Amino acid sequence: MIEVYQKENVICVEGTIESFGRKVFVYLVDGMLVDTGAEKLQKELIRFYKEHPMDLVTLTHSHEDHTGTAAWIQEHLNIPIYLHHKSIPLCEQPGNYPEYRKQTWGGRKAFRALPLPETIRSRTQEWTVIETPGHADDHVSFLNEKTGQLFSGDLFVAPKTKVIMDSESIPLIMASLRKLLKYDFDSLFCSHSGYFENGREMIEKKLQNLEKLTLKVQSMNREGLSVEEIKQKIFPLDYPIIGFSENQWDSRHVVTSIIEGEHQ
Ligand SMILES: [Zn+2]
C-alpha cells in the first residue's frame, strides 16, 4: 500500500508492506526521485511514476528496499539513475541477499547506474552529495544547501538504536552524523520514518544517544563484561527481527561494533 502526500515542496510516497508492518519512503522533489522503494510496492509505485513526470533518480544506497523498482524505471522511463560508484557493478547483477529480505521487500532486478557526482542538479535546484557510511559503505545523503532540506536515506531511521545489521558500524554512523551536523540544514526526509520538520534536532538527538551508549558499552567492556553480558544489560528485549533475520540484525552488533571501533 502506498500513501502520497506533500511536505514542503517534496512529494512523499509512504509505502507500507502490510504483511510485515514495515515502511519505506520514496521522495520526489523538483523532478528528482530519491530512492525507488521495494519491489513489493512496484505495482502501486508504477501508477505513481506514470502520474508524476521525473527527470532523474538518485539512490542513497544499493539496498533492495531503495532500489527495488530501479530496473522498471530504467526500462520504461529511460532516465538516468545515480548511485555511489562502489555499488554500480553490484547492481548490474540481480540482487543477492538473504531470503528474509526477499520475503520482506521482494527482489532487486539488475540495472545500470551512473556514478553520483559531488553535486547533482534537478530542474531548478542543486544537491550536495555527502558520503555518510555506517549503515552501508555506499551510503550517501542529499542536501539542498539553499533550502536546508536533507535526504538521509537509512542513516537516521530512529533516534534510539536497538538493533543493527552485522554490516553496520555504530562508530561510522556517529562519524557520519557529525559530518552532517557541520552543514546547515533544517528538515529531514528519512527513508523509513518519513519527514521531520526539526530534522537537525533529530540528528543531534540520535548522536547524543549513540555517544551515551558508546560510553556505557566501553565502560562495561573495561570492567571485563562479555559481549553477551553487555547486550543483556543494555538490550534485554528480544526483538522479532533478530530471530527472523537469523541474527543478521541483532543488538549484539551494536555492542561489537562499538568495542571494535575503540581498537581502531
Ligand atoms: Zn538500507
Centre of ligand 1 to C-alpha 191, Å, is: 9
Average pLDDT score over the chain: 96
> What radius of gyration do the chain's Cα atoms show?
18
pLDDT at residue 262 greater than cutoff 90: no
Q: Which amino acid is at 36?
A: T
Centre of ligand 1 to C-alpha 73, Å, is: 20
Centre of ligand 1 to C-alpha 132, Å, is: 12
Q: Which amino acid is at 47?
A: R
Query: What pLDDT was estimated at residue 264?
Result: 61
Q: Under DSSP, is residue 54 helix (H, G, I), strand (E, B) or coil?
A: coil
Centre of ligand 1 to C-alpha 259, Å, is: 23
Tell me: the pLDDT tens digits for 98-125? 999 999 999 999 999 999 999 999 999 9
Tell me: the pLDDT tens digits for 40-59? 999 999 999 999 999 999 99
Centre of ligand 1 to C-alpha 107, Å, is: 14
pLDDT range class, residue 261, cuts 50, 70, 90: confident
Q: Under DSSP, is residue 235 helix (H, G, I), strand (E, B) or coil?
A: coil
Taking the C-alpha atoms of residue 164 and residue 241, their distance in angstroms, rounded to an integer, is 10
What are the start-end ranges of the E strands in 133-222? 140-144, 149-153, 164-165, 187-190, 194-196
Domains and CATH numbers, the chain: 1-124 (3.60.15.10)
> What does pTM read for this prediction?
0.96
